[in-house]
Structure formats: structure tokens, C-alpha cells
Amino acid sequence: MIGGVNPWATMWTSPRSTVRAVVNVSPKYGVFCLAWIYALQNYLYFASYWSFGLSFSFFTILLIGVFGSPLIGLAWIYFTGWVYYVTGKWLGGAATQAHLRTAIAWSKIPASISLLMWLILMIAGAETIFINGVSGPSTLFLNFILFILGVWSLVLLIQSVREVQGFSLGKTLLNLIFAWIVSWVFVFFIFITLRFMYINA
């Protein structure tokens, strides 16, 4: 419990009041844990999509994910919080970076269900879970569930950012769009830089 609510339960249906309760008491509460969960379930998805199982053992893939995801999650939440802060300032946003990190991290609570499903699939078929196309119907079902959870996560993100920024719905959507554009420009620039360094090495 924090601020009179249990955010792990109330975030699903009352994102604005939940995020407000968390930022008023302890903005860091749950942020790292949720960032780690989100990074880990994304890693598992790409490990399956890119068929890591053809090159690495199941336990190697799993260990890399478990120990690498905290660092990836931490980098992701700080970078994303900064991007939302900068683009939000263009629109007159009032949130601090810490509060935006709270809003972003808690909007990813559906990732906990995704991670649970990955664990179930790994128990059911550890040999094939990280080989794209081999798992058949189970992979299609997982992708469908991930899509539904992704949509709900977007709804939670919109409402959470709206609460901490003090925006209307329209401004909140602009904040998300601007942040998305800036993030992809940054990623593209990093990709071009690394490619240039690789070619000229």
C-alpha cells in the first residue's frame, strides 16, 4: 500500500488516481521493478522472434535476460522519462522527470501478465520457445495477448502522463507523439553512428 492505495491492483482501472498517489508519496516506488519486467518481457519476445534458440541454449538466453534486463530497463526508463520531460516542456507540461518516470513505468504493469505467459510457455516447451515459428498456435496466441496488453498499456500511459503533466487529452497525445518522434530520431542517429564506425573501423 502507498498513499492509501495498492497500485499493483488499482493501476489497471484507475491509473490517474493511482499515479497521483504514488508521486505524492514516493515517485520511485515500483519504477525499477516495472522497468525490469518490461525490459525482460521485451527481451524474451525478441529472443523468440529472432530465433536465439538456434544459436544459444535455453539457459544461456534466460540468464542473459535475467541479468541484462535490469540495466536495459534502467536505461530505458531514464531515457524515456527525459524525452517525455523535454517534449512535455514544449507544451507547457508541469511534471518533473521523476514523476514522468513513475507514470511511464506504472503504465507498463500489463507487462507483468506478459511475463507470466512467457514463463508458462517456457515451462511447456523450453526447447522451442526461442525458435520463431516452431511453437505454432501458442506463439500466435501469445502475440494476440501481447497486442491486447499493449493497447491497454497505451491507455494507461495516456492517462498517467495526462495526470502528472496536467494536460488535456489532446496535449497528452501530442506529448506522446513528440516523444515517439524524438526517440526514433535518437535511435536512428545512434544506428547511423554505429554503422559509420563499423564501416570505417
What's the rounded Cα separation, in Å, for the pair 75 and 193? 19
Q: Which residue ranges make up each domain of the chain?
A: 7-199
Q: What angle do CA 58, 51, 133 make, to 5 degrees?
A: 110
Residue type, 138: S
What's the rounded Cα separation, in Å, for the pair 116 and 37? 10
pLDDT tens by residue, 85-136: 999 999 999 999 999 999 999 999 998 898 888 888 888 777 777 877 665 5
User: Buried (b) or exposed (e) across 67-91, using 16+ Cβ within 10 A?
Assistant: eebeebbeebbeebbebbbebbeee
Please give the grid coordinates belonging to residue 111.
Answer: 507487462
pLDDT of residue 136: 53
pLDDT tens by residue, 45-79: 888 888 888 888 889 999 999 999 999 999 999 99
What's the rounded Cα separation, in Å, for the pair 143 and 128? 16
Average pLDDT value for residue range 171-182? 96
Average pLDDT value for residue range 154-172? 96
Angle formed by the axes of helices 137-165 and 97-107, to 10°? 150
